[in-house]
Amino acid sequence: MTLLTDYPGLLFLASFLVLSGATWLGARFFRLPSAAGSEVFDDFGLIQGATLTLLGLIIGFSFSMAVGRYDQRKNLEEEEANAIGTEYVRMDLLPGAAASGVRGMLAGYLGQRILFYTLRDGERLVDLNAKTSKMQAEMWSAVVAAAAARPDPITALAVSGMNDVLNSQGYAQAASQNRIPITAWVLMATIAICGSVLIGMGSRSETTRSKLLLVLPLIVSLAFFLIADIDSPRGGLIKVAPQNLTILEQSIRVP
């Protein structure tokens, strides 16, 4: 399912327009009258400060969640490269014909895994996942057949290594789908809209309304953009680059 959070640029534009509109509505229809007493403004300032503080805390927590998920995807990419590289070396434990065949499969599989981290098109990703599953089944069958022909602890290491390769792909796949919940985005947006309305309500002059009321919508929209960019594994500018997989592919190609 395609979400607005998959497109950080559009999210920034939409959030800025919505929050600016909420600020304008607060200043236009709900602005506190200048004749209001100091007690009214004191109470209003307390509510406004508490709302903006809560908004800042939730944005901070969401940013921490996004960074944690980004770091997890990076670590799993490294682990997947280690698993594939280890299994490529362990192919020496299999008979000659089986070893060369599985090595060729691993080289092709490695290219598919690199493409997984660089691909942006969702439809192509579905085809890529199907092709990856097919290649995994072929590699597993080849290793199991070789181990069945010579069942001993040495060939068991090759089977165990292939199991690690398959598991590492599953972990990376799950991490790419582990995103900030939509309910958290809805909560942030709701509090941001309320805070923007309160900012508009607290404006006391035309100069303030015309020049300063866009500051909060801009800052919050930038925060939303950064969180969505880090949290999105494909739609943002900040992505996990398959550096370790690429280095492994280059080392395999060296004679």
Domain boundaries, given as residue ranges, for the chain: 4-28+37-253
Q: What is the dihedral of CA 222, 223, 228, 233, to 10 degrees?
A: 100
pTM of the model: 0.86
pLDDT at 1: 47
For 217-234, how does the pLDDT look when each residue is reduced to its tens digit (9 = 90+)?
Answer: 999 999 999 999 999 888
CA distance 132 to 27: 55
CA distances to 39, 49, 223 from 198, rounded to whole Å, are 17, 9, 19
| Residue 18 binned pLDDT confidence (cut-offs 50, 70, 90) | very high
Q: What gap in Å lies between CA 230 and CA 217, rounded to an integer?
A: 20
What proportion of the chain, given as a percentage, has pLDDT over 90?
Answer: 54
- CA angle (98 as vertex; 96, 100 as ends), nearest 5: 70
Residue 27 clears pLDDT 60, i.e. is over it: yes
- Residue 164: burial class (beta carbons within 10 Å; 0-12, 13-18, 19+): middle
Does residue 50 carry a pLDDT above 50? Answer: yes
Structure tokens at 95: 């008979």
- Per-residue model confidence as pLDDT tens digits over 68-107: 999 999 999 999 999 999 999 988 888 778 888 889 999 9
